[in-house]
Amino acid sequence: MSFQQGLSGLNGAAKSLDVIGNNIANASTVGFKGSQTQFADIYASSLNGLSNNQPGIGVKVGQIAQQFSQGNIESSSNPLDLAINGGGFFRTEAGGEIQYSRNGQFGLDKEGYITNAQGAKLTGYQADASGLILGGTPTPLRIDNSDLKPVATSSIVAMLNLDSRVTAPDATAHPFSISDPLSFNNQTSIDIYDSLGNSHVLSTFYAKQTPDTVNATTDWSVYSAIDGAVVGGAAPATPTGTLTFNQNGTLTATVPDPLAYSVAILPPNGASASQTITTNFTGTTQYGASNSEKASSQNGYTAGQLTRFGAGQDGILLAQYSNGQSHNLGQIALADFADPNGLTPLGNNAWAESSVSGAPLVGAPSSGRFGVLQASSVESSNVDLTAELVNMITAQRVYQANAQTIKTQDSVLQTLVNLR
With residue 260 as reference, give the H or E element that holds it.
Answer: strand 259-264
Q: How far apart are CA 40 and CA 285, in angstroms?
A: 80
Q: Burial letters for 320-356: b for 16+ Cβ neighbours within 10 Å, e otherwise?
A: bbebeeebbbbbbbbbbbeebeebeeeeebbbebeee
Q: What are phi and psi of 394, to 5 degrees?
A: -65, -45
pLDDT at 58 (0 to 100): 85
Q: Burial letters for 20-37: b for 16+ Cβ neighbours within 10 Å, e otherwise?
A: beebbebeeebbbbbbeb
Q: Which residues of the chain have pLDDT under 70?
A: 1, 45-53, 420
Q: How far apart are CA 391 and CA 200, in angstroms?
A: 73
Rounded alpha-carbon distances, angstroms, from residue 225 to 207, 240, 269, 276 = 14, 10, 18, 13
- The pTM for the full model equals 0.81
Tell me which amino acid residue 269 is. N
Residues 83 and 105 sit within 8 Å (Cβ to Cβ): no
Crossing angle of helices 385-417 and 4-25, in 10° steps, is 160
pLDDT at 336 (0 to 100): 96
Q: Environment class of residue 369 by beta-carbon count within 10 Å: exposed (0-12), middle (13-18) or buried (19+)? A: exposed
pLDDT at 235 (0 to 100): 77
Instruction: Write the pLDDT tens digit of every residue in 346-364.
Output: 999 999 999 999 999 999 9
pLDDT at 302 (0 to 100): 96
pLDDT at 414 (0 to 100): 84
Three-state SS at 13: helix
Handedness of CA 238, 240, 242, 243 (dihedral sign): negative
